[in-house]
Structure 1
Amino acid sequence: MSKTRVGRWSGRHLLLAAVLLLPNLVLLVVFTYRPLLDSIRLSFFRWNLGSPTSSFVGWDNYVEWFTSSDSRTVLVNTVIFTGAAVLGSMALGLGLALLLDQKIRGRGVVRSLVFAPFVLSGAAVGVAFQFIFTPNFGLVPDLLRSLGLSPPNFYQSSAWALFMVTVTYIWKNLGYTFVIYLAALQARRTDLDEAAEIDAASPWTRLRKVIWPQLRPATFFLLITVLLNSFQVFDVIHTMTRGGPYGNGTTTMVYQIYQETFVNLRAGYGATVATIMFFALLVVTLVQVWLMERGRRE
């Protein structure tokens, strides 16, 4: 094939790619990148939502956030909630995937039941779990009383309230990690399993030496996606605790953005929190991608 014909086909491919990508790029610019830049710009202003005017304050909003005791509480809540949600949902998802990858009766029905909460609305899940943790007649307090234990008041203690919303979100998100791990298990090399059986490897050795190395790509993928999703949870917290008790008991950064922007009407300060959260997520994601690429090279 001549160079002229190769160049002509390359030009056609580039034109086709441009036609296919342009609508998506336009949507990204209009609905993602432009609002992002506007949010960063707005973080340097003092603006009450609905006011026709705003005043430039420079770095004052950032100084206020980084020096506020409320911000430290919000940051700790965000780290605890996100870390527990990521580790809890991934560990439980892996355990269920290993169990339901076996040939047991009724596993198809159980798989569907495990995945079902993931497709439910977070607000609906939050309302349902409000009744489960209700002090007077909730399922969890009744279960603790039947065991001879005194149930805590999940709605009056900040620590227990954070535990409550974390458990609720893990239950809702469990189906996602379960499905990803189950797909990875079913795609693994069966010849390695057969070799491990021939060598009479113990279940723990088989998991650690044969199965786990093949699950690393799925694990890295879940680390990124589950962390990003957990960092941005709003519906469960809003439905169950409204960020309380005692002001900021379960307030995370996403919920603080909502409170400052739409409750306190401080849109400029809310944009500041959103910008800080964006760069924090960007750094975490870049580190995870770097670790994933490094793991592939090894």
Structure 2
Amino acid sequence: MGVTAGREASRRALPGPRGLRPETRWAYLFLLPWLVGLLVFQLGPMVASLVLSFTDYDLIDSPRFAGLGNYAAMLEDPKVARAVGNTVIYTALHVPLAIAIALALALILNRVTGRAAGVFRTVFYLPSMTPYVATGVLFLFLLNGQAGVVNQFLGLFGIDGPQWTTDPNWILPGIVLMSLWNLGTTTIILVAALRNVPRELSEAAMIDGAGSWQRFRAVTLPMISSALFFVVIINTITSLQMFDQVYTMFFGNQSAQQSYGDSALFYVVYLFQQAFQFLHMGYASALAWLLFLVIGVITLIQVKVGNRLVYYEAEEQGA
């Protein structure tokens, strides 16, 4: 009797052809707002922009089919080349510097213990919570060539600071300097990775006579390589989409823009101008899809290369 009752209970617990488990239905119900948002606000606009990228559309008249005209126009547009160049240079400068500085900060924070550890982690993360527009306005004053704090600090050492916001040769370095303000997320991720490095491995290397640099290179770096791989990808994607701070600093005042030309023209800034300033929505959609494909290709290359360099503990244990 008890065996029969147990079988009946197990049949009722398993999902049958008539429907799903109650908990599964509740799970789908709670996921429904996110699924609606995904379809309406992400996948839907992506499909629409793909269609618009093959049209000539100005938000006023009906879209007119243009074939590959928008993509061909990008090859002849000198501003696209300049925007791509600025974005690539910025990414090449920002990503290594950001990760190197964040790793140095993480190594320092990893040595802090007790209640102070939480306090310092919070302090280092606070800049990440600052709105990008506010950051742009702040650094517009900090990098001012005449009265900026950065040049005043350099003046203490007898260095005549450059015109960060007006000299075309120093605009990109100034933007890179500004971007290093927001390292909180990368730093906290690396701190968490360092906390998970087994202490016994470092102690064993120390017993074998390895110095601090040898332990860092042979033990710490391999053990945090997966976290480093992650932050490299995330920082690369973020850098290629740089927009808020640059637009706030250099494109809010159109008259001031004449002094430095296209030195601060980033790819997403140019995309925004084409879409909402010139109302070339079809051309802007083509620019957006080109950026999407470029980011996808770069990420794929990073994943292929990273899989050869990154140490995964689970794979090592499985082997």
TM-score (norm 2): 0.83
Judge conservation of contact 2:52–2:63 (CA < 8 Å) in 1.
no
1:263 aligns with 2:274: no
Aligned length: 296
Distance 1:213 1:9 in 2: 45
Corresponding position of 2:167 = 157
Distance 1:21 1:163 in 2: 44
Q: 3-state SS of the aligned residue for 1:158?
A: coil
How far 1:289 moved relative to its partner? 3.3
Corresponding position of 2:46 = 36
Judge conservation of contact 1:165–1:240 (CA < 8 Å) in 2.
no
Q: 3-state SS of the aligned residue for 1:159?
A: coil
Residues 93-112 of structure 1: matches in 2 within 5 Å?
A: 93-103=102-112, 108-112=118-122
Corresponding position of 2:287 = 273
- Structure 1, residues 106-159: CA drift from partner, whole Å, max 9, x if none? 555443322211111111111111111111111122233332233221222223
Judge conservation of contact 2:87–2:239 (CA < 8 Å) in 1.
no
Identity %: 33
Residues 46-57 of structure 1: matches in 2 within 5 Å?
A: 46-49=56-59, 51-57=60-66
How far 1:67 moved relative to its partner? 2.1
Distance 2:274 2:162 in 1: 30
How far 1:221 moved relative to its partner? 1.3
Q: 3-state SS of the aligned residue for 2:128?
A: helix
1:249 aligns with 2:263: yes
Corresponding position of 1:142 = 152
1:286 aligns with 2:300: yes
Corresponding position of 2:199 = 190
Instruction: Decide which of 228, 236, 258 is 1:227's aligned counterpart.
Output: 236
Q: Relative to 1, partners in 2 of residues 1:154 and 1:287: Cα closer, same or farther, differing over 3 Å?
A: same
Equivalent AA in structure 1 for residue 14 of structure 2: R
Corresponding position of 1:62 = 71
Q: Relative to 1, partners in 2 of residues 1:285 and 1:21: Cα closer, same or farther, differing over 3 Å?
A: farther
Corresponding position of 1:236 = 245
- Structure 1, residues 267-287: CA drift from partner, whole Å, max 9, x if none? 111111111111111222233
Higher-Rg structure is: 2
TM-score (norm 1): 0.89
Q: 3-state SS of the aligned residue for 2:180?
A: helix
Distance 1:74 1:237 in 2: 12
How far 1:247 moved relative to its partner? 3.3
Distance 2:214 2:249 in 1: 42
Equivalent AA in structure 1 for residue 226 of structure 2: P
Distance 2:67 2:306 in 1: 38
Corresponding position of 2:124 = 114
How far 1:85 moved relative to its partner? 2.1
Distance 2:76 2:287 in 1: 13
Distance 1:136 1:223 in 2: 35
**How much is the aligned-residue C-alpha RMSD, in angstroms?**
2.6
Flag structure 1 segments of 5+ consecutive residues without an equivalent.
none
Judge conservation of contact 1:161–1:241 (CA < 8 Å) in 2.
no
Corresponding position of 2:94 = 85
How far 1:84 moved relative to its partner? 2.0
Flag structure 2 segments of 5+ consecutive residues without an equivalent.
1-5
